[in-house]
């Protein structure tokens, strides 16, 4: 048998709005003014919330957390296409999309302060909690998509992961199952070029992550991940394809992590200032703001008013989260036994009763120490 050439699908790279706010009119998607305002609002809210959380972490008021600054275009440009009945399966840098889906700011603040109550999705949307274990959420997304097909549910699953996660076995398994079973899953890769400190050149030999879609038999595309219009268009096509029963798509958004991997990381040990400066010039919010200003959707006065409004929203959320963190509901250690079993096993009930007695004893001793005269009278 002679050697023959196998024709493989080509991979496109798409950019619509460049770093100077100049738009390619031939590719510009038709988005109404209200939707554009919504997209910018949540991108800005996520950025300012992220910045406030960093300040709080440095003050000792917030735990270690992964920042999302620089990833707003990928998150918001894609999530805007989901219905409430669709499924959103995030990793941990999708703050803009989570806020848009109805997650209160105080929920994120609580979660990164160690309160598992912060992982509770809001009522009325099909969202999974933030997923810190790398790539494990992709298997959940594939499974949900496969279940949708079994139930003849005309929905879509959108899931997010980083370039580091793309090197995990879970990613291969999730994409393979989604493709084989034509599950309606949109795989959104936030390629910020570093798996913590490992640059992408040391993670893989392929030129793009998007080209891996070819091996799974699904469409793949790379977009400028700092261009919210390109993300919007690519993810719209992927969502439409999934909803039409044509299976999954891989969308790679090429972006950059402006911040440390987490607030416990020092990126100066593995990234140059010149590289960071270059990517800061390409950041998503500035170019989108220029685009909206040029279209007359926002005036400078309106931009300033929005900043003030969102600042007040964030301050109120911070206040609420710190009040909740001191509430009896969240500080009651007995709650650790709840929501584990429908019928609590005897050995756990015994431990719960023992802890309850211990807490009552501690409370009684504390009261006695605060009022020794009353205690001695008894």
Q: What is the DSSP string of 345-378?
A: -HHHHHHHHHHHHHHHHHHHHHHHHH-HHHHHH-
54-96 per-position pLDDT tens digit? 999 999 999 999 999 999 999 999 999 999 999 999 999 999 9
Q: Residues 4-12: contacts with CB within 8 Å, 24+ apart? A: 8/214, 9/214, 9/219, 9/220, 11/208, 11/210, 11/211, 11/213, 11/214, 11/220, 11/221, 11/222, 12/221, 12/222
261 tagged catalytic = yes
Q: Which two tokens stand for residue 147?
A: 């279940």
- Whether 289 and 296 have beta carbons less than 8 Å apart is answered as no
Task: Give residue-wise pLDDT tens across range 20-29.
Answer: 999 999 999 9
Please, what is the average pLDDT of the chain? Answer: 94
Q: What is the mean pLDDT of residues 117-133?
A: 94
| pLDDT, average across residues 314-335 | 92
Question: What pLDDT was estimated at residue 10?
Answer: 87
Structure-model confidence comparison of residues 375 and 308, the more confident one: 308
pLDDT, one tens digit per residue, over 240-285 is 999 999 999 999 999 999 999 999 999 999 999 999 999 999 999 9
pLDDT in tens, 170-198: 999 999 999 999 999 999 999 999 999 99
The per-residue pLDDT for 343 is: 94
Helices within the chain (DSSP H only): 33-58, 72-79, 95-100, 105-111, 136-150, 169-180, 213-216, 228-243, 273-280, 284-294, 300-325, 328-331, 346-370, 372-377
Q: Is 227 exposed, middle or buried (0-12, 13-18, 19+ CB in 10 A)?
A: buried
Residues 6+ apart with CB under 8 A from 37: 292, 297, 298
pLDDT at residue 263, rounded to an integer: 95
Asked whether the predicted pLDDT for residue 44 surpasses 70, the reply is yes
Q: Which one of 58, 270, 280, 341 is the catalytic residue?
A: 270
Q: What is the mean pLDDT of residues 30-59?
A: 97
Burial readout 257-282 (b: 16 or more C-beta within 10 A, e: otherwise): bbbbbebebebeeebeeeeeeebeeb
Give the strand pairing for 220-224 and 249-254.
parallel
For residue 257, indicate whether it is catalytic: yes
The whole-number pLDDT of residue 376 equals 55
Nearest Cα to 221, choosing from 188, 251, 241?
251
100 is catalytic: no
Q: Say whether pLDDT at 374 is over 70.
A: no
Each residue's pLDDT tens digit, 2-26: 898 888 888 999 999 999 999 999 9
Q: Which among 88, 212, 261, 282 is annotated as catalytic? A: 261
The Cα–Cα gap between 223 and 352 comes to: 52
d(CA 251, CA 364): 59
pLDDT on residue 375: 53
CA–CA dist 306, 257 (Å, integer): 25
347-364 pLDDT, tens digit per residue, is 999 999 999 999 999 888
- Mean per-residue pLDDT, 161-173: 96
Q: What is the SS3 assignment for 304?
A: helix
Across 328-340, average pLDDT: 86
- Spatial separation of the C-alpha atoms in residues 19 and 40, rounded to whole Å: 16
Sheet containing strand 157-162, edge to edge, reads 12-14, 220-224, 249-254, 185-191, 157-162, 87-89, 126-127
- Classified as helix, coil or strand, 341 is coil
Tell me yes or no: is domain 12-325 CATH 3.90.1580.10.
Answer: no
User: Which residue among 81, 257, 282, 287 is the active-site one?
Assistant: 257
Q: What is the mean pLDDT of residues 289-307?
A: 97
CA dihedral 110, 111, 117, 123 (to 10 degrees): 100
- The answer to whether residue 167 scores a pLDDT higher than 90 is yes
């Amino acid at each position: 048998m002679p050697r023959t050439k196998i024709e493989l699908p080509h991979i496109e790279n798409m950019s619509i709005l460049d770093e100077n706010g100049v738009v390619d009119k031939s590719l510009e998607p038709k988005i109404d003014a209200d939707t554009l305002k919504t997209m910018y609002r949540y991108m800005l809210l996520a950025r300012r919330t992220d910045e406030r959380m960093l300040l709080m972490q440095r003050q000792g008021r917030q735990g270690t957390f992964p920042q999302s600054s620089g990833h707003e275009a990928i998150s918001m440009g894609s999530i805007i296409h989901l219905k409430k009945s669709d499924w959103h399966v995030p990793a941990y840098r999708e703050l803009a999309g989570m806020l848009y889906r109805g997650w209160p700011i105080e929920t994120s603040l609580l979660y990164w302060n160690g309160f598992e109550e912060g992982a509770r999705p809001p009522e009325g949307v099909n969202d999974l909690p933030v997923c810190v274990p790398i790539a494990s959420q992709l298997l959940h997304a594939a499974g949900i998509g496969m279940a949708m097909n079994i139930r003849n549910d005309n929905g879509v699953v959108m899931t997010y992961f980083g370039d580091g996660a793309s090197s995990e076995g879970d990613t291969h398994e999730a994409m393979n199952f989604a493709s084989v079973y034509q599950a309606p899953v949109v795989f959104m890769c936030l390629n910020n070029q570093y798996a913590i400190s490992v640059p992408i050149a040391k993670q893989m030999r392929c030129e793009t992550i998007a080209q891996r879609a070819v091996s799974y038999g699904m469409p793949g595309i790379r977009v400028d991940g700092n261009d919210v219009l390109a993300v919007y268009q690519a993810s719209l096509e992927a969502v439409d394809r999934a909803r039409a029963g044509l299976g999954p798509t891989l969308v790679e958004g090429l972006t950059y992590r402006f911040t440390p991997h987490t607030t416990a990381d020092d990126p100066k040990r593995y990234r140059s200032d010149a590289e960071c400066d270059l990517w800061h010039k390409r950041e998503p919010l500035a170019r989108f703001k220029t685009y909206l200003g040029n279209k007359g959707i926002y005036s400078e006065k309106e931009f300033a008013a929005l900043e003030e409004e969102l600042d007040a929203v964030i301050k109120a959320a911070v206040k609420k989260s710190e009040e909740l963190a001191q509430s009896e509901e969240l500080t009651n250690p007995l709650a650790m036994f709840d929501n584990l079993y429908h019928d609590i096993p005897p050995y756990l009930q015994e431990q719960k009763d023992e802890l309850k007695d211990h807490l009552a004893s501690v409370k009684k001793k504390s009261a006695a120490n605060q009022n020794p005269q009353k205690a001695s009278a008894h």
